[in-house]
Amino acid sequence: MLQRRVKLAGGFTLVELLVVIAIIGVLVALLLPAVQAAREAARRNACTNNMKQIGLALHNFEGSQRSLPIGTTYTATTKSGEYGTWASQILPFLEQQAAYNRFNFRRPMWNRTPGSNNDQVAGETVLPVFTCVSDERSSEPILKQGRGESRLVAGGGTNNPAQAQGLWYTGSLGPTSPDGCSFCPEPAPSYCCRGCSFGTIATKPPNESCTSNVGDSSVGMFTRLPIGYKFSEVTDGLSQTIMFAETLPYHCIWNCVFCVNFPLSSTTVPINHMESDTGARDGAWPRACGFKSMHPSGANFAMGDASVHFLAEATDYRVVNELGTRAGGEAASIP
What is the structure's pLDDT at 47? 95
Residue among 81, 58, 62, 73 nearest 130 (CA): 58
| Cα separation of the two ends of the chain | 90
Helices (H), the chain: 14-65, 86-89, 97-102, 120-123, 285-288, 317-324
Does residue 2 form part of some domain?
no
Residue 304 located in a structural domain: yes
* C-alpha to C-alpha distance for 264 and 250, rounded to whole angstroms: 14
pLDDT at 141: 82
Residue 20 placed within a domain: no
Phi, psi of 143 (to 5 degrees): -80, 150
DSSP state of 204: P
Q: What are φ and ψ of residue 270, in 5° steps?
A: -60, 150
As for how many domains the chain has, the answer is 1
Instruction: Quote the CA–CA distance of 61 and 171 in Å, as a whole number.
Output: 14
Mean pLDDT calculated for residue range 305-319: 92
Tell me the average pLDDT across 6-10.
57
Task: Note down the domain range covering 166.
Answer: 40-324
Which residue has better confidence, 135 or 305?
305
For residue 75, the model assigns a pLDDT of: 55
- Under 8 Å between Cβ of 326 and 220: yes
Give the model's pLDDT for residue 142. 78
Q: How far apart are CA 35 and CA 37, in angstroms?
A: 5
Q: In this structure, are residues 272 and 299 in contact, taking their beta carbons and an 8 Å threshold?
A: yes
Residue 28 lies in a domain: no
User: How confident is the model over 70-82, as a mean pLDDT?
Assistant: 60
pLDDT greater than 70 at residue 2: no
Q: Which tens digits make up the pLDDT trace of 43-67?
A: 999 999 999 999 999 999 999 999 9
Whether 31 maps to a domain, the answer reads: no
> Cα separation of 83 and 233, whole Å?
25
- Mean local confidence (pLDDT), 67-85: 68
In a domain, 95, yes or no: yes
The mean predicted confidence, pLDDT, of the chain is 76
Model pTM score:
0.79
- Tell me the C-alpha distance between 142 and 167, whole Å: 10
Q: Pick the most confident of 111-115, 130-134, 218-222, 265-269.
A: 130-134
Looking at the predicted structure, is the pLDDT value of residue 258 above 50? yes
Lowest-confidence segment of 38-42, 189-193, 306-310 by average pLDDT = 189-193
Q: Which amino acid is at 122?
A: A
pLDDT tens per residue across span 111-131: 444 444 455 666 778 899 999
Residue 221, in any domain of the structure: yes
Give pLDDT tens digits for 30-45.
877 777 778 888 899 9
When pLDDT is cut at 50, 70 and 90, the band that residue 85 belongs to is: confident
In a domain, residue 13? The reply is no
Residue 309 in contact with residue 245, Cβ under 8 Å?
no
CA-closest candidate to residue 82, choices 249, 237, 204, 261: 261
DSSP state of 246: E
More confident of the two residues 133 and 264: 133
Cα separations in angstroms, 285 against 20, 67, 124, 185: 54, 28, 24, 21
Which of 67, 291, 252 minimizes the C-alpha distance to 169?
Answer: 291
